[in-house]
Amino acid sequence: MKKKIKIKKLLSYYKPYKKTLLLDLFFAVLNATVVFGVSFSILKVKDTIVSMPKDEALKVIYALSAFVVVDFVLLYLSDRYVLYYGHVMGAKIERDMKVELFSHLQKLSLDFYDNQKVGQLMSRITTDLNNISEFLHHMPEELTVLGIKILGAFFALFLLNKIIAFVILFMVFVTIVFALYFVPRIHEVFLKEHEKNSKISSQIEETLSGMKVVKSFCNENIEVKKFKKVIEDFIESKKGSYKIFSRFYSLSASFILCAVPIILVLSLFLIVHGSITVSELVTCAVYLDIIIGPFFTIISLVEQFQESIAGYQRFIEILSIEPTISDLEGAIEIKNAKGKISFKDVSFGYNEKEGEIFSHLDLDIQSGEYVALVGTSGVGKSTFCSLIPRLYEASNGVITLDGNDIRNIKIKNLRENIGFVMQDIYLFAGTIRANIEYGKPGSTDEEIILAAKNAFAHDFISELPDGYYTDIGQRGAKLSGGQKQRLAIARVFLKNPPVLILDEATSALDLESEKCVQKSVEELSRGRTTIVIAHRLSTIKKAKRIIVLDTNGIVEQGSHEELIEKKGNYYRLSKLY
């Protein structure tokens, strides 16, 4: 049942291109029919033409010559259509599949990405689907053409000599049995090959992304060794696929090629017994050649099919994964959110093995309140903040925004009301303008410049050679840490959400950059519900309320002065800050 669904889905990709596919098949059939028709006509008249009067024989030859000219024109037109429009159709199907997979990846929850390597996912979008285009283009037309040629040749052979036809049919049957035995094994090794190949992509992505670390530790040789290892593993998987396919191809090809001497020997017996003439033997040889050629093509198609279907299976594997966090039925959209957030008996753990990070947590954050989360590393500060926009789902309890359970709010609407500024800023390759506009796609130049001014970023942007159209490189490599942070803040200014989460937004900056960013943060947090995770007292002191977390959950709350007077957990942490 599962296999049928997969095949049905595979065939569904032809649906938008039915007209192209039907014309492709029409021209493929025309191509095969014309080729077979010319050969059949010539073989049909070759014996009778010698007994015809010269004038009649010449008329037949002229007619056949005209037929060959028409044949040439039809072959040219049909081949041209198949080669151009057929390939374009295949490329469009590949595009559709890649867009579908990429779109599906956007829907999957963060817990999926926690257990995946980016390079392996890239391999599924690129390498796994690259062969499908050619296969989906060639499969219908090749099978149609080959089917016509083989069936036509067998039909002619049965009319000519049933004994020879049955012998060839038996040999074809044995070849099919070989294929049925080997195909599952070929599929298995190609699947392993795709998995090994995806590890190469993963290793490349990991090394190139971490090139600064590689260079700083002078570990280029180590990375080369790691790359050689994944390459060798891939070669081993290649050996496996070559080994099984060579056995299949050699056995099938040898058996098919043996048909020639077998038929010749059989024909000699038939000639001796007067069951067939030499002329008929020549005709049988021509039809045998018509059958053998397509079977070699089919054998080659088996390899292409298995390689493509292995990639398709990995494609389906990802599509079958459902997001763990999605809109509930009847989810609502909230308007003019105020930003009041409540945690009621909330527990969370990434998985059962690691256990819960915190449990039975209760907390109310008022609209427009500025609160700071502090605590030692690993107590769940970032996790706490990630639960609010449902980047992860609470194991138990209820989180509300303005009194609405966040699970009953549409995810897109919920996240539109929350702005994030993180320590590890991610900027996209491209211009400064495009990166700020990411906060609110379609914004005008005036809106983007105003957001940059509010983030104290306009001055440094204006000094750049191309201003807002300056290319910042991969992940903003051409900018300083403080500049990147201010662009991230400008992006949130443009978004203008009622809730703001700052996850150690200034911890990695020097003092001068921190002052600039701190001004941006103060401006951004004005009038918004703001949750700050920080390790610097300068940021924490400004909070109206400080929430102290440890492995037991919330252990202290209060202003900086109140908590210092208690001389508890916060007092000890403040000595470290």
User: C-alpha angle 244/250/254, rounded to 5°?
Assistant: 155
How many CB atoms within 10 Å of residue 351?
9
Q: Give the pLDDT confidence of 143-168 residue by residue, as tens digits.
A: 787 788 788 778 878 877 888 888 88
**Rounded to whole angstroms, how far apart are CA atoms 31 and 76?**
9
Q: How many residues does the chain have?
A: 577
H or E stretch at 569: helix 569-576
Residue 508 has pLDDT above 70, yes or no: no
Residue 202 near residue 118 (C-beta atoms within 8 A): yes
pTM (two decimals): 0.77
Instruction: Indicate the Cα dihedral angle 438, 439, 444, 450, nearest 10°.
Output: -130
- Quote the longest CA-to-CA distance of the chain: 124
Query: 341-576: same fold as 2-319?
Result: no
Rounded-to-integer distance, Cα 544 and Cα 522, Å: 13
Average the pLDDT over 90-110 and give the result.
89
Nearest to 364 by CA among 115, 129, 192, 531: 531
The confidence score (pLDDT) of residue 35 equals: 67
At 139 the pLDDT is 78
Domain ranges of the chain: 2-319, 341-576
CATH for 2-319? 1.20.1560.10
Please give the Cα distance from 555 to 151 (Å, whole number): 82
Question: For position 333, what pLDDT does the model report?
Answer: 93
CB 482 within 8 A of CB 488: no
Band of residue 3 on the pLDDT scale cut at 50, 70, 90: very low
Which has more pLDDT, 19 or 181?
Answer: 19
Mean pLDDT computed over every residue of the chain: 82
Q: Compute the distance between CA of residue 78 and CA of residue 93 in angstroms, rounded to an integer.
A: 21
The alpha-helical segments, DSSP class H, found in 161-219 are 162-209, 211-216
Q: Looking at residue 398, what is its pLDDT?
A: 95
pLDDT top residue among 104 and 68: 104
Tokens 């065939």 sit at which residue?
11
Q: Measure the CA–CA gap between 559 and 544, rounded to whole angstroms.
A: 6
In this prediction, residue 2 carries a pLDDT of 43
Topology, domain 341-576: Rossmann fold (3.40.50)
pLDDT value of position 43: 59
Of 111, 165, 394, 400, whose CA–CA distance to 287 is shortest?
A: 165
Structure tokens given for 100: 């579908």
| Model confidence band, residue 408 (pLDDT cutoffs 50, 70, 90) | very high
Helix (H) or strand (E) holding 266: helix 259-272
Confidence at residue 332, expressed as pLDDT on a 0 to 100 scale: 93
Tokens at 313, concatenated: 């299976």
Q: How far apart are CA 532 and CA 268, in angstroms?
A: 94
Helix (H, G, I), strand (E, B) or coil at 293: helix
Block residue for tokens 């202003």: 559
Residue the block writes with tokens 């390759």: 429
Q: What is the pLDDT of residues 445-477, one digit of tens each?
A: 999 999 998 888 898 999 998 999 999 988 788
What is the DSSP secondary structure assignment for residue 431, as one 8-state letter?
Answer: B
- Report the 10 Å Cβ neighbour count for 63: 12
Alpha-carbon distances, residue 24 vs 89, 91, 95, 150 (angstroms): 10, 14, 19, 20
CB–CB of 156/284 below 8 Å?
no
